[in-house]
Amino acid sequence: MGTLHINSIQPSSGRRAISWLQSASIEVWLKFLLALVGLGVAFGAALFSTAAGEAGNPLASVILASLSLLMAAFVGLVTVPYLARRVALERLRETLHYEVTKAGVVYVLVTVVIGIAALNTGNNLLYIIVAAMLAAILVSGIASAIVLRGLQLDVRLPEQVFAGRTLLGRVVLNNPRRFLPAFSIRVITGRDKSNKKAIKRWRWERTTFTFPPNRTPENQWLRMRDWKVRRLDVRPPAPGIFEGMIYFPYLPPKTALHADLQLQFSRRGRYCEAKFALATQFPFAFLTKIRDIALAREILVYPAIQPADALSHVLPLLRGEWESFMRGRGSDLHRIREYMPEDSARHVDWKATAKSGSLKVREFSREDERRLRIIFDNPIAGLLAESAYERAVSLAASLAWSLSLQDAQLSFAITGQEPIADVNEFLARLAVIEGQQFENGSEWEEAGGSEQYSIIVTSRSRENFSPMLSHSSYFVHVRD
């Protein structure tokens, strides 16, 4: 017999109450209520201490005053720092900073000149003008801050990205506010200007001061410990996803607008943005108010995929060798050939036999053994020029992508790494691969059995591989 399970259904209001009790907000409210109770007790103890002192009871006055101080100190140590950190964290999420524009610099200079003239002449009209101009700066800062508050940003990027191909991303800007619209919003990357240049680092190192410097140590007159400054290797900044900005002139309340972003990456690798930012010069363009948004995005760019005509020198030969290696018994006709004594009579093609006058048999390809393995024989770093190495990586990725679209069981391997079964994982590894530091063994040489055909993209000759692998493999050689 089956078992009947009865689940109690809670009302929506009850579920909301339980979720609120389990959230982090309940801890904040408990701390806040504890602070209120503690401060109330401290205030009451202070009042009673004053009353006891006026009534001529100094002992009770001292005890109550001490209790008031201890309670205030307890609240200050337990609840105030926690609430202050929460407020600071919330403020940090809404960090606003600004940059002065050229128009703002000119405006400030004009305001200073008019202010000096007002001080020298004592003209009340000039004082009023200066006050209005200063008020315009204040209004501009407040208005731009209000425009940026509460806006939500989302950046959507495609999953499969190949180097050299143009693709579209999407930037979505949402204004969840009920009444306030937003004007003149720009979406920019949050990278600092200093990160756009190469990063140089300096370090002090111990050395020995010698004189004369060109003599051997035993013939030098003076040797003493010293320090020197050495510049470390220059580290270029991490590549970002895009440059420039995306502009939204007007964003109504309770509305989300999107803009398509055209992206193109010239090289394979990992691209990331640690944060984005929203900027506006509304309403007077005196200041550029910028609000940082902690929205990290990372995209992995696969190697460039060569077009089909660029692989025309590889695919026909490969298809011929593969089919020759994989011919057998199955349902797909491979070819019709002359009858051999070891052939079975059930494979005789009687129509072809009647036309030609000699026995003909059908030869089928094996459906259950159509396995193909693509191997990237990663060379030692520096063995190939950078252009030749990138060409080899691109060729391996192109073969993997082209053959994955055909009806074949594919597997992949890279020298010094574990076997790979998925084409996307193979492309992801090729996206960040670098030359080997040391010579690694080819554990994949004997793997897969004799029924697996391999395509090896390598800079080595066929003689460097095992005889079995050389017999059941197609070699694509890459040279400088």
Q: What is the pLDDT of residues 406-429, one digit of tens each?
A: 766 788 888 888 888 888 999 999
Calpha distance 455→443 (Å, rounded): 15
- CA distances for 79 relative to 27, 44, 89, 90, 326, angstroms: 11, 19, 16, 17, 75
Give the separation between CA 227 and CA 279, rounded to whole angstroms: 46
Q: Which residues contact 161 (CB under 8 A, 6 or more apart)?
A: 167, 263, 265, 299, 300, 301, 302
CA separation for the pair 196, 243 (Å, rounded): 11
Q: Per residue in 150-167, pLDDT tens? A: 899 998 888 888 988 888
Distances in Å between the alpha carbon of 401 and those of 45, 185, 362, 475, 476? 79, 41, 32, 18, 16
For 108, the 3-state DSSP assignment is: helix
CATH architecture group of domain 94-197+237-302: Sandwich (2.60)
287 touches 205 (CB < 8 A): no
DSSP of 397-459, one letter per residue? HHHHHHHHTSS-EEEEEETTS--B--HHHHHHHHHS---BSS----TTSSTT-TTEEEEEEES
Amino acid occupying residue 166: T
Q: Is the pLDDT of residue 213 over 80?
A: no
Looking at every residue in the chain, the average pLDDT score rounds to 76
pLDDT for res 171: 92
Identify any residues that bridge with 458 across adjacent strands, giving them in sequence order.
477
Q: What is the mean pLDDT of residues 9-31?
A: 53
Question: pLDDT tens-digit profile of 296-347?
Answer: 888 899 999 887 666 655 655 555 444 554 444 445 566 677 877 767 676 7
**Residue percentage of the chain with pLDDT more than 90:** 10
Which is more confidently placed, 391 or 71?
391
Cβ atoms of 337 and 359 closer than 8 Å:
no
Instruction: State the pTM of this model.
Output: 0.60
CA separation for the pair 70, 78 (Å, rounded): 12
Q: Which residues pair with 291 in a beta bridge?
A: 96, 278
Strands 371-376 and 409-414: parallel
One-letter amino acid at 327 equals R
DSSP 239: P
Q: Contact, 149 vs 94, CB < 8 A?
A: yes
In this prediction, residue 354 carries a pLDDT of 79
DSSP character at residue 380: B
SS3 110: helix
Q: Which of 275 and 192 is assigned the larger pLDDT?
A: 275
| Pairing state between β 222-231 and 297-302 | unpaired
Of the listed ranges 58-67, 140-149, 308-317, 465-474, the least confidently predicted one is 308-317
Residues 6+ apart with CB under 8 A from 13: none
How does residue 21 score in pLDDT terms, banded at 50, 70 and 90? very low
Reply yes or no on whether the pLDDT at 45 is more than 70.
yes
Structure tokens at 229: 């400054």
Spatial separation of the C-alpha atoms in residues 292 and 99, rounded to whole Å? 13
**How far apart are alpha carbons 120 and 175 in whole angstroms?**
49
Provide mean pLDDT across the span 214-236.
Answer: 68
Answer whether 237's CB lies under 8 Å from 196's CB.
yes
Q: CB neighbours (10 Å) of residue 338?
A: 10
More confident residue, 90 or 131: 131
Q: How confident is the model at residue 468 (pLDDT cuts 50, 70, 90)?
A: low
- Sign of the dihedral defined by the CA atoms of residues 69, 75, 77, 80, in that order: negative
Helix (H) or strand (E) holding 154: strand 152-156
Q: Residue 197, CB half-sphere, CA atoms under 13 Å: how many?
A: 5
Structure tokens at 266: 């010239």
